[in-house]
Structure 1
Amino acid sequence: MNEVKPKATFLLADDHSLIRQGIVFILDDLDFECEVFHASNLSKILETVKENQIDILIMDAHFPEGNSLSIMPEIKEISPDTKILIFTGTDETTQSLKYINLGANGFLSKLSEEQELKNAILKIYHGGEYISSVTQSLLINSIRNPKIINPLLKLTEREIEIAEMYVKGHGNLEISNKLQIKQNTVSTVKKRIFEKLEIENILELVALMKDYR
């Protein structure tokens, strides 16, 4: 008796076509009987999910026009049954939990071996999720320390207020005038924000605030 091939509809979302094609080869190796859609940007991902029943979405974390976190709630609203595997070059130890927290069913680094990607795809297909040992440890630690998931929880209300003003483009003098505090106080708070978030510039602050606010 011939073994029944696994059937699924995949959406491969990455702005690099070589990555998508590599995943196609892996699906062939796994002997999937599947229909495969491709997307190279965020709008195409949403368009494809709206128009087709996607079983498994394998998606990069970052695209030229933005972070895939920004569309995950909409994907889940459009198609709650779609399983999402984040496959990215982004550091798993600092990034995976926020994707899992928003509904991703798995997270895998592009630095992983080919076999690990195969395992992740099969686990999501058969069991609905893939949690690596790294992310499992992070999840356990996050129960003890919620700040692991959202680094902004490290900031006080005043620090958040000032951080948001920096993100809006305000300078030290303008923040000082608006909050009626000294400029050197603003500078001190800025330094403290950077230290707590382990960042070095406003661009990194903007990215963090966009991801977590």
Structure 2
Amino acid sequence: METEFENKEIIFLLADDHSIVRQGIEIILHDIVPDARVFHTSSLHQIVELTESKGIDIAIIDAHFPDGNSLHILSEMKRVNPDIKILIFSGLEEDLHVLKFIKAGANGFLSKLSEEEEIREAISYFVKKGEYFSATSRELLVQFLYNPNLINPLNSLTKRELEIAEMYAEGLGNLEIANKLDIKQNTVSTIKKNIFSKLKIENLVELIDLIKTHHNI
């Protein structure tokens, strides 16, 4: 099967703060591409530098590092190396996070919760095709065409609703929010009902989780 890397030495970057993860992926890579060149980093802040200086073809990177979130460097990786293919390899819930990583520039998303054989097959496919999307990701991409707010449900809220949602997430109650915004307490209650309805949630625990997951995307 001919690929864009046919007859070319492939240069990989493995970025994860756990060395055992990188070592495991490198073993799989050398089974798939015996003569691959593989660079490692455990630091988010080295990823862009290595992408540029080493001419990385394929980057397999985690979503979160102790020094930050890789979501916000994907565009910079593409800027310094427009042809790079980026596979997010993460323990984050795929259905909650895959769309925002794809929007940011990732070419695929692979869950660390996958079985070893699935990981091997996914990486092999990614090397050949330059992309990989599980059945879950493909279904979400189709849904996203009909509902763009899937990528960030908070986009469905008005500015005032988002402001109040953030206050709930900070632990404030109806009375505190009403006093802080100088509005009536029953107005806050009404807005809370609208927030819950728009986000299709039933309690503050779910709201706090959504704020943590999707705010500032």
Structure 2 residue corresponding to 1:103, chosen from 98, 102, 105: 105
Contact 1:159 1:189 in 2 (8 A): yes
Contact 1:89 1:111 in 2 (8 A): yes
Please tell me whether residue 153 in structure 1 is matched to residue 165 in structure 2. no
Structure 1 residue 205 displacement after superposition = 2.1
2:3 match: none
Query: What is the alpha-carbon root mean square deviation over aligned residues?
Result: 2.8
5 Å-filtered alignment, 1:114-125, equals 114-125=116-127
Contact 1:120 1:130 in 2 (8 A): yes
Distance 2:187 2:68 in 1: 33
SS of the counterpart of 2:215?
Answer: helix
Please tell me whether residue 55 in structure 1 is matched to residue 57 in structure 2. yes
| Identity rate, percent | 51
Distance 1:206 1:133 in 2: 25
- Number of residue pairs matched by the alignment: 207
Unpaired runs of at least 5, structure 1: none
Structure 1 residue 186 displacement after superposition = 3.9
Q: Is the alpha carbon distance of 1:149 and 1:207 closer, same or farther for their aligned partners in structure 2, counting shifts above 3 Å?
A: closer
Structure 1 residue corresponding to 2:83, chosen from 64, 77, 81: 81
Q: Show structure 1 runs of 4+ deviating over 6 A.
A: none
Q: Normalising by structure 1, what TM-score?
A: 0.82
Q: Is the alpha carbon distance of 1:189 and 1:140 closer, same or farther for their aligned partners in structure 2, counting shifts above 3 Å?
A: same
- What amino acid does structure 2 have at the position aligned with 1:91? E
Distance 1:166 1:58 in 2: 37
Q: Is the alpha carbon distance of 1:148 and 1:10 closer, same or farther for their aligned partners in structure 2, counting shifts above 3 Å?
A: same
Structure 1 residue 105 displacement after superposition = 0.6
Unpaired runs of at least 5, structure 2: 1-5
Q: Is the alpha carbon distance of 1:208 and 1:129 closer, same or farther for their aligned partners in structure 2, counting shifts above 3 Å?
A: same
Q: Normalising by structure 2, what TM-score?
A: 0.80
Q: Is the alpha carbon distance of 1:39 and 1:144 closer, same or farther for their aligned partners in structure 2, counting shifts above 3 Å?
A: same
Q: Is the alpha carbon distance of 1:158 and 1:119 closer, same or farther for their aligned partners in structure 2, counting shifts above 3 Å?
A: same
